[in-house]
Every structure is written in structure tokens, then in C-alpha cells.
Chains A and B, each alone.
Chain A
Amino acid sequence: GAGVSQSPSNKVTEKGKDVELRCDPISGHTALYWYRQRLGQGLEFLIYFQGNSAPDKSGLPSDRFSAERTGESVSTLTIQRTQQEDSAVYLCASSLSGGPSYNEQFFGPGTRLTVL
């Protein structure tokens, strides 16, 4: 079946512009995660959605970052007034559930964001 998809695959923007990144999780997956991966670095947790519960936003680095998810479908990550340090690959992952029985996260291909 289809895996996690993300769009765009690459995004080049100018400093100060807003960008919107999209994630389509695997159908039926109630949990959705966003991560940031800077060049040569590990995966930095940003935000986690679980069903209709309030999202865990504890990883968002500043108020310029926000994310939304409608139900158990598509999620968008928005970065306002982009800065050069926002340049990174943004990875989305989904899993069957994020409840007590933790399930494997499946990652999307990522969006490579370059801020000039």
C-alpha cells in the first residue's frame, strides 16, 4: 500500500517568507509526527498528533513554527518568516497509534527546505 508522502520534495525560499509543508500519512494511522533533520544531524522532534487529542507541541523551536492536522488525515507544517537556520530536511512519520501500545513509525521521504 501507499506509504507516507510529503510535498514538496524540495523548497527553496527567501529569508522572511512563509512556507507550508504537507504530509499525507498512511491511511488508518492515527498518530503523526514531524521531525527536523539538519545536515549531518539527528532527528529533532517537533510536534506529535494523536487522533483528536491536543497535539504535543513541545518540540517546536519558536512561535514561527506551527502545525495543523484535520482529524486523522493530512497535516501541514507552517514556518513563518523563515530564517537561514530553518534550512533542513523536514520529515513526517505516522504510526497506527500513539497509545500505550507504541507502534512503529513509518517515515515519509522528507521535504528539503533551503532558506536563502
Chain B
Amino acid sequence: GENVEQHPSTLSVQEGDSAVIKCTYSDSASNYFPWYKQELGKRPQLIIDIRSNVGEKKDQRIAVTLNKTAKHFSLHITETQPEDSAVYFCAVLIQGAQKLVFGQGTRLTINP
């Protein structure tokens, strides 16, 4: 089955710096890659997603890049702010099965 690896498991950056989280996957047929943010004690919420027909997508301070050949995609957060502190999960849609396989999560801490 699909295997999703997410790195790093924890990330600490200074406020204002950039943060990058990377995920790799195994099924080359996968074509949808969302990122979820989960604040402490709250539900996961979609923050950005990308489909396989594009290589990059941006939404203000966040962006996702996709390399289908290498089977990896990354979340980029620029000008980080304290409210960016959370656990971030990548996910990959299993083609044909309509279900997501999630990475193990990255705990991002923004230091003031």
C-alpha cells in the first residue's frame, strides 16, 4: 500500500524565518496531496493542497511544491508567526480508493 514519510518530526524556527516540511510517497499514481494543520486540542484543518498537474501552489505565506518524478512534496511557510505553531500533516490520496494516507506529522514551534 501507499507509504508516506514525513520529515522532520519536530521543527523549531525563529519568528520571521521560513519553515520547510517534506513528505515522500511510494505510489506514483497518486495525484492529490493536501496539507493539514492541527493546533493543540483542535481538529485538523486543510491549509493548502496540490494536484499532480502543477508543480507549485501558493497562498499568501504558505506554498506547496510537488516533484512527481522524485515522489516528494513540501510545505513552505515564510515569515513565520507564533500562530503558525501547530502540528502539520501531509497526506496522499490513494488513487481509486478515495482515502487519504497521512504522514506522521511535524510539530512546528515558532520561537518569538
Contact = CB atoms under 8 A, between A and B. Distances in A.
Contacts of B93: 102
A105 B104 contact: no
A45 B46 contact: no
Contacts of B102: 42-45
Interface string A92-116: 0000001100101101111000000
Contacts of A31: 98
Interface string B47-79: 001000000000000000000000000000000
B44 A102 contact: no
A40 B46 CA distance: 19
Nearest to B1: A58
Contact of B99 (A45, A99, A108, A109): A45
Given A31-B98, A33-B99, A102-B32, A42 B44 contact: no
A110 to B, nearest CB: 6
A59 B94 CA distance: 13
B99 A42 contact: no
B11 interface: no
Interface class of chain B by DSSP: strand
A18 interface: no
B45 A99 contact: no
B-side interface size class: 20 to 34
A48 interface: yes
Interface residues of A, number: 22
Contact of B46 (A33, A91, A104): A104
B89 A42 contact: yes
A99 B98 contact: yes
Contacts of B42: 109
Interface string A2-15: 00000000000000
A82 B72 CA distance: 38
A20 interface: no
B100 interface: yes
Interface of B: 6, 32, 34, 42-46, 49, 89, 91, 93, 97-105
